[in-house]
Amino acid sequence: MQPGSPWFFDPFVIPFTVGVIWLFGAILWKWGRWFVSLPAGDKALIRHNILSAKSLKALKEVVLECLIHRKIWKTNPMLGFMHMSLALGWFLLIVVGKLETSTYIQDPVNPPHVHVFFRYFFPEEPASYVRHFNYALLMDCLLIFVLCGVALAWGKRAYSRMMGMRRTTRHTPFDRIALSALWLIFPLRYIAESVTCGVHDSGSFFTGGTGDLLASAVPMGMLSALEYPAWWAYSIVLGLFFVALPYSRYMHIFTEVPLIFLRAYRLKAKPEGSSFDNFQIQACSRCGICLDPCPIAADLNINHIQAAYFLRDRRYGHLTPQVADTCLMCGRCAEACPVGIEQGTLRLSSRVAFARQTSSYNIPRYEFLTAAEDRSEGTGKVGFFAGCMTQLTPGVLRAMEKIFAAAGVDVWWADRNGGVCCGRPMRLSGNLPAAKKMQDYNTELFRKHHITTLVTGCPICYKSFTEEYGELQQTGIRVLHHTQYIAELIAGGRLKTSVVQTSYAYHDPCELRGIYAEPRYVLSHVATLTNAESREKDRVHCCGGSLANLTLDTAAQTKIGTTVVRNLLATGAETIVTSCPQCKKSLQRSAGNDRTRVVDIAEAVAEAV
Amino acid sequence: MTQERILVIGGGVAGMQAAAALREEGFEPFIIEKEKAAGGHVARWDRLFPTQLRAQEVIDRLSAGAEGIGSATGCEIVSVLPEADGVTAIAADGQRFEGRAAVVATGFDLFDARFKEEYGYGMYENVVTSAELERMFREGRVAMRSGEAPKRVAILHCVGSRDEKVGQNHCSKVCCITGIKQAIELTEAVPGVQVTNFYMDLRAFGNGYEELYRRSQVEHGVTYVRGRISEAGETLDKRIQLKVEDTLVGRPLRLTVDMLVLLVGMRAPGCCSSFGLPTQENGFFAPRDPYVETVASPVRGIYLAGTATGPKTIGETVNEALAVARRIKRDLAK
């Protein structure tokens, strides 16, 4: 069979060609719209950074993440291999196939279907190019590589635990079409190539070998008759996959590339939402890696609110407040996400969008804050902001008073006689204007008293001050959580502690993510710490009492906390220590009121002072 | 014919009355009490609602009824096992008690107010529980830690009751009327004292309760504010500063009192989880059914009386203690 025209046309390539045109048309249309509607600031960032080393770094990351899937390899090698064999394998099939075709026809300009269906158009072993390089052998190796990935994907669907995953994502209809097509593409390619090789007695060890086997088992007439339909089938599933791709999870294959570049140019998701969100949302492959770490899935068996489902619902426009609000924002999913999607901010911007629809969003509230009297006391350069939750756990406040006194620190007490909330609870519920009012009040209060260091007893406030209080950061005031501050006092020799005969297990609050060394340093100075060596990724499991949760009732919260308490007590500790007043309360509730005592790190230290 | 021995676990109101009634029914009851003396919580109380009868009078009458009944004190039962034709109770020290049946009259525990840390109990010296106030009444001297008589007292209802945040979702039933009673007694003990009750709902359901509620306001000038105290702080002179919302007016209040009394609720004691008997959602033992089998546990040979199955008044407890004896008589006759 010889190619009929310089374009090597045959009717069976039509489904494939239509698919490719549709695919790139849809992608360009989507990306184009998203780019055009990016905020001006984001566009300026792109212009500023595009011709810098950041682009090269992004390119490197594209290779590592989109093709090799390095992050998945790190957490789950089996899954990493599956993703890599599909992505890198397919990519190399295209590149090598193109080279093979261009070398053979000695013309670099040829339409894509020629290399995709190369074996059909050039069934005989092209002796001339075997002399240069055995492309057929390489292409066979690559096909085996990809088929391994397909086999693993089939296995994962059938039994996800084989791949170390308890849960795997449930799919939309478009996903199912695309998925079914994807699963068939490479087996069909293998069959079509093998049949052609069998008929023409050509091909390398894999397709050629299978072809020989087929030729010996199937009468030649039947094999010849099978050849053309096999190529049609291959082309049809390819076309089907390409048509479904822009509307399915496989949109991530292409979208992750601009996302990596935009992220390198310092674009970030905003609580108010922006067009950049589209890149993040459609870069989610719904791989399902975020499902298992979610405490709501693990402890409550609620399986429709996790990051993959939230992004899916948001992408297809059927997100409900229930799904957006059922989240502890503990950050486990964002930590696990191989694409690095900003799960927390995206969840927040959805809440903001829902809050905006309510009539109360723009009603002036908290106007009285501008006239609120200054209840702070003291003159020190070190400010202590207890926060609402520490006010509700006066034991922590007392302990801090004792520690400051023992270290001889002159303290300015921001809110010992009552103060204004840091605003984070309002923010987490989507009410940004109200949060902003509190933020402005507190920033002005801190500035007015000329403090140089601000210590807070609550990780919720700490997170607020360090991540959300933009103006506070400009004042140069150093913000520390009391855990960090106590660690500094001990390290600097200002605070002398003895060792108490007890054993503690430390619970890391979600909001204090990243501050792992300081509490362990402090606690190992005052008593025995039973979980000093726990692995970082296991450290954060929400206590259940997260302020970000707007839907789960107390029973559900208690259940999440019970997991934490059980794990901590399993280390053999007598007492549980944490560094968040909210965690303290929820863990105490989960521990039951009789048995285990839960204390704050400040209380543990104060006992040893 | 030897009399059949019935174990009565708990020597409070329910236990003493059940033992007395069982003896009248012809059994040989045996009381096992974990404290050194019988009497339970009521023995530690001064006067009782709604008539302000001396609690000691009730205890005396019940003790008289149970006079001569065998008992073991200072003996805490940790598990109760049904046997082929009886029941074995095992104490913490390993002692075994055998009987034809057992009445679990283990009562309740007071909620530990330290778990509502925002009220500062155990930290602020003038925050006391309702039980501690009763002790002051018994000792005849209501005073702040400094020894001075309080001029303003706040009584906070529902501490450890109807509070999901500490896992105590149930209503403890008797605290509303106790708060009313204690407010009146405060005005009697400390002339001129100003008492304010902070409540969520006032549940004056029993005979004479509503009348007492009214009298406390009309005759004793006790005030009631609907709203739960959100937090308490200690001032430099050791008084207690309260933050609360008056939810009827819809306004936040801030006031300073000399003493804060926490009306601690009833919670299921530890034995509810260690005995191995079925429990209700609130942690207390579950009766076989809550309508007509209120004094039988779902386990054969094991019976329940009093606050072991949830908050109750003394009168209700006494009724159950009488009922349980009758019920055992009927079951064992079969």
3-state secondary structure A71-93: HHHHHCHHHHHHHHHHHHHHHHH
Cα gap A537→A529, rounded to integer Å: 18
Note whether B167 contacts A558, CB cutoff 8 Å.
yes
- pTM here is 0.87
Residue A109 has a pLDDT of: 84
> Could you report how far apart the first and last alpha carbons of chain A are, in Å?
90
B295: Cα separation from own chain's centroid? 18
Closest Cβ opposite residue B166 in set A392, A417, A589 = A589
Distance CA B45, CA B133 (A): 9
Per residue in B1-50, pLDDT (tens digit) is 457 999 999 999 999 999 999 999 999 999 999 999 999 999 999 999 99
Q: Above pLDDT 70, what percent of chain B?
A: 99
The Cα angle at residue A470 between residues A466 and A474, in degrees rounded to 5? 95
Residue of B nearest to A397 (CA): B233
Average pLDDT, integer, range A190-201: 93
Which residues of chain A are within 8 Å of residue B165 when distances are taken between CB atoms?
554, 585, 589
Rounded to the nearest 5 degrees, what angle is found at the Cα of B36, between the Cα atoms of B30 and B39?
Answer: 70
What's the full length of chain B, in residues?
334
> Sorting pLDDT into bands at 50, 70 and 90, what band is B84?
confident
Measured CA to CA, the distance from residue A220 to residue A226 in angstroms comes to: 10
CB B87 within 8 A of CB B7: yes
- Smallest Cβ–Cβ distance between A394 and the set B166, B233, B270 belongs to B233
User: Is the Cβ pair B270, A594 closer than 8 Å?
Assistant: yes
CA distance linking residue B295 with residue B105, whole number of Å: 10
Q: How confident is the model at residue A514, as a pLDDT? A: 87
Q: What is the CA radius of gyration of chain A?
A: 30
Residue A455 belongs to what H/E stretch? strand A453-456
Whose structure tokens read 């007694």?
Answer: B185
Q: Which residues contact B332 (CB under 8 A, 6 or more apart)?
A: B4, B100, B101
| Domains contained in chain B, CATH given | 5-108+268-333 (3.50.50.60), 113-266 (3.50.50.60)
Is the pLDDT at A439 greater than 90? The verdict is: yes
The predicted structure's pLDDT at residue A1: 36
Q: Which residues in chain B are closer than 8 Å to A457, comparing Cβ atoms?
A: none
pLDDT higher than 70, residue A53: yes
- DSSP calls for A3-38: -SSTT---GGGHHHHHHHHHHHHHHHHHHHHHHHTS
Q: What is the per-residue pLDDT across B222-263, written as a single tens digit (0 to 9) for each?
A: 999 999 999 899 999 999 999 999 999 999 999 999 999 999
| pLDDT confidence band for A3 (50 / 70 / 90) | very low
pLDDT by residue (tens digit) across A133-150? 788 899 999 999 999 999
- What stretches of chain B adopt beta strand conformation (E)? 5-9, 28-32, 47-48, 53-54, 70-72, 77-83, 86-91, 96-99, 101-104, 109-110, 127-129, 152-159, 194-199, 223-226, 229-234, 240-246, 251-257, 259-264, 266-267, 302-304
Closest residue on chain B to A417 (Cα): B233
Quote the CA–CA distance of B44 and B137 in Å, as a whole number.
11
A397 and A369 Cβ atoms separated by less than 8 Å: no
Q: Is the pLDDT of residue A2 over 50?
A: no
What is the rounded average pLDDT of the residues A453-459? Answer: 96
**Closest residue in chain B to residue A558, using alpha carbons only:** B167
pLDDT above 60: residue B207? yes
Instruction: Check residue A455 and give its pLDDT.
Output: 97
Q: Which chain B residues are closer than 8 Å to A553 by Cβ?
A: 164
Q: Compute the distance between CA of residue A508 and CA of residue A197 in angstroms, rounded to an integer.
A: 61
- In the block, which residue shows the tokens 């799904």? A323
Measured CA to CA, the distance from residue B231 to residue B210 in angstroms comes to 29
Cβ burial of A436 (10 Å; 0-12, 13-18, 19+) is middle
Our CA-based measurement puts residue B282 at a distance from the nearest CA of chain A, in whole angstroms, of 12
pLDDT digits (tens, 9 = 90+) for A153-182: 999 888 888 877 888 888 888 888 899 999
Cβ atoms A485, A407 nearer than 8 A: no
pLDDT tens for each residue of A378-405: 999 999 999 999 999 999 999 999 999 9
| Residue B38 to chain A, least CA–CA distance (Å) | 24
Amino acid at A91: F
Chain B CA closest to residue A589: B166
pLDDT value for B1: 42
Distances (CA, A) of A593 to A242, A562, A586, B160: 59, 13, 11, 11
Give this complex's ipTM: 0.82
Strand partners, B244: B229, B253
From CA B291, how far away is CA B289, in angstroms rounded? 6
In chain A the domains, ranked by start, together with CATH numbers, are: 53-253 (no CATH), 268-357 (1.10.1060.10), 367-481 (3.40.50), 489-608 (3.40.50)
| Residue type present at position A303 | N
Residues of B in contact with A418 (CB under 8 A): 243, 254
Look up residue A247 and give its DSSP letter: G
Instruction: Report the alpha-carbon angle A22-A28-A31, nearest 5.
Output: 135
